[in-house]
C-alpha cells in the first residue's frame, strides 16, 4: 500500500502508513515514517483528529495531545501506577 505524505508543524515531510494501525479509544493511530521506504519510524498520526502531536510512554501507551485519543498499553500492571 502506498504511503500518504504529510507535513509536520516543523515543515518536514513524513509518511503515513494507512495499513499499519493501532487501536485507540476514539479512533485509530496510524504509524508514521521518516521516509517512504518504511525503514525509520517517526511516530503516529491520530485517526480521530488527524494530529501528529502524539506521545508514547515506556509502557507502550499512545496518546494524542490534541484530542486525548488513547491506546492502552499492551501489558498493563497495576504496580506501574
Calculate ∠ Cα 57-4-69, nearest 5°: 35
Asked whether the predicted pLDDT for residue 22 surpasses 70, the reply is yes
Q: Could you tell me if residue 23 is inside a domain?
A: yes
C-alpha cell at 57: 510512554
- Please indicate, yes or no, if residue 61 is contained in any of the structural domains: yes
Residue 10 falls within a domain, yes or no? Answer: yes
**Residue 58 belongs to some domain of the structure:** yes
Which domain, by its residues, includes 13?
Answer: 4-73
Domains in the chain, number: 1
Residue 60, in any domain of the structure: yes
pTM metric for this prediction = 0.87
Note the pLDDT of residue 76: 57
pLDDT at 12 over 80: yes
Q: Are 3 and 16 in contact (CB under 8 A)?
A: yes
Does some domain include residue 78? no
Q: What is the pLDDT of residues 26-52, one digit of tens each?
A: 999 999 999 999 999 999 999 999 999
Q: What is the pLDDT of residue 42?
A: 97
Q: How many CB atoms lie within 10 A of CB 46?
A: 24
Count helices and strands (H / E) in the chain.
0, 7
- Domain membership of residue 35 (yes or no) is yes
Amino acid at each position: 500500500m502506498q504511503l500518504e505524505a504529510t507535513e509536520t508543524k516543523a515543515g518536514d515531510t513524513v509518511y503515513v502508513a494507512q495499513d499499519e494501525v493501532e487501536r485507540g479509544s476514539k479512533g485509530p493511530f496510524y504509524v508514521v515514517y521518516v521516509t517512504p521506504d518504511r525503514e525509520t519510524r517517526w511516530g503516529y498520526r491520530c485517526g480521530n483528529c488527524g494530529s501528529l502531536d502524539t506521545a508514547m510512554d515506556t509502557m507502550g501507551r499512545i496518546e494524542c495531545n490534541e484530542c486525548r485519543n488513547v491506546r492502552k498499553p499492551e501489558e498493563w500492571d497495576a504496580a506501574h501506577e
